[in-house]
């Protein structure tokens, strides 16, 4: 969906602003620590850690910060974090999935519920909007890695399901359980990826007007401002005209 891709680009640019960089780095570091704690501290033996490090590097997370995050996992830090997924509805009935990593379930649940309520949304039960999304693996490459046909052939050989090539780059989608295998095969053929991660891909879209998008942006910004929240995904779709006005 074009609208969803544009929203991702907006969030990506926002994440690079100095005011948000520290918060972003903190969340990336937390993911690395938890991934290392749950598995092996060697990324070659721990696919989740490998993906977390890859995502950190794609956001310019310094190597020394990555190293410290891994070391934390080996000295007993980060072992009390719990992964929780919240689901709900935002303005205009748009579906929202919130992924959190917290050491206090009650605090996070209260904050998420309050944030939805204050921004025109409603927090639902687990599964209330999950059926509108598919869990997928996503691998991205810059546009200059090759033309669309080259990337498409490499993706097919690697076992991917879909490829979207634009002037901004190449986005390759695969089954969530195949992400490590597909990304490894792609790197052997095309070189290092820009990003390798699991995503929630909408299978049902909710059309948004300008007013709805403005409200949705406030909700997502408020959720992402919470240190416990790792990722926020929505199923909005908006016209080019609406997106240009944002």
Tokens 């544009």 belong to 6
Say what the pLDDT of residue 17 is.
Answer: 62
Say what the pLDDT of residue 37 is.
Answer: 87
Strands (E), 160-215: 162-166, 169-175, 195-202, 206-207
Query: Pairing relation of β-strands 133-141 and 229-234?
Result: unpaired
Query: Pairing relation of β-strands 236-237 and 122-123?
Result: unpaired
**pTM higher than 0.85:** no
pLDDT digits (tens, 9 = 90+) for 187-246: 999 998 888 889 999 999 999 999 999 999 999 999 999 999 999 999 999 888 888 887
Say what the pLDDT of residue 240 is.
Answer: 85
pLDDT band, residue 104 (cuts 50/70/90) = very high
User: What domains are there in the chain, each with its CATH number?
Assistant: 2-74 (1.10.10.200), 82-131+204-245 (3.30.70.980), 133-202 (3.30.70.980)
pLDDT digits (tens, 9 = 90+) for 17-45: 665 778 889 899 999 999 998 888 898 88
CB count, 10 Å around CB of 203?
Answer: 10
pLDDT digits (tens, 9 = 90+) for 163-184: 999 999 999 999 999 998 999 9
pLDDT digits (tens, 9 = 90+) for 121-139: 999 998 999 999 999 999 9
Where is 95: in which H helix or E strand?
Answer: strand 95-102
């Amino acid at each position: 969906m074009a609208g969803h891709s544009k929203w991702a680009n907006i969030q990506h640019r926002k994440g690079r602003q100095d005011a948000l960089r520290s918060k972003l780095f903190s969340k990336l570091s937390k993911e690395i620590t938890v991934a290392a704690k749950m598995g092996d501290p060697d990324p070659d033996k721990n696919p989740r850690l490998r993906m977390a490090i890859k995502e950190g590097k794609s956001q310019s997370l310094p190597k020394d910060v990555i190293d410290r995050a891994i070391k934390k996992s080996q000295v007993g830090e980060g072992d009390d974090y719990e992964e929780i997924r919240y689901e709900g509805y935002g303005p205009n009935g748009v579906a929202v999935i919130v992924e959190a990593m917290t050491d206090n379930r009650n605090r996070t649940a209260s904050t998420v519920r309050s944030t939805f309520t204050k921004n025109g949304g409603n927090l639902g039960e687990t599964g209330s909007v999950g059926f509108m999304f598919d869990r997928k693996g996503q691998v991205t490459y810059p546009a200059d890695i090759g033309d669309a046909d080259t990337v498409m052939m490499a993706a097919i050989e690697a076992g991917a399901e879909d490829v979207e090539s634009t002037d901004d780059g190449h986005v390759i989608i695969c089954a969530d359980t195949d992400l490590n295998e597909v990304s490894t095969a792609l790197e052997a053929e095309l070189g290092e990826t820009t990003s390798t991660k699991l995503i929630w891909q909408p299978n049902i879209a909710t059309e948004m007007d300008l007013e709805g998008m403005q409200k949705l942006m406030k909700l997502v910004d408020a959720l992402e401002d919470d240190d416990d929240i790792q990722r926020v995904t929505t199923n909005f779709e908006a016209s080019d005209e609406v997106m240009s006005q944002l």
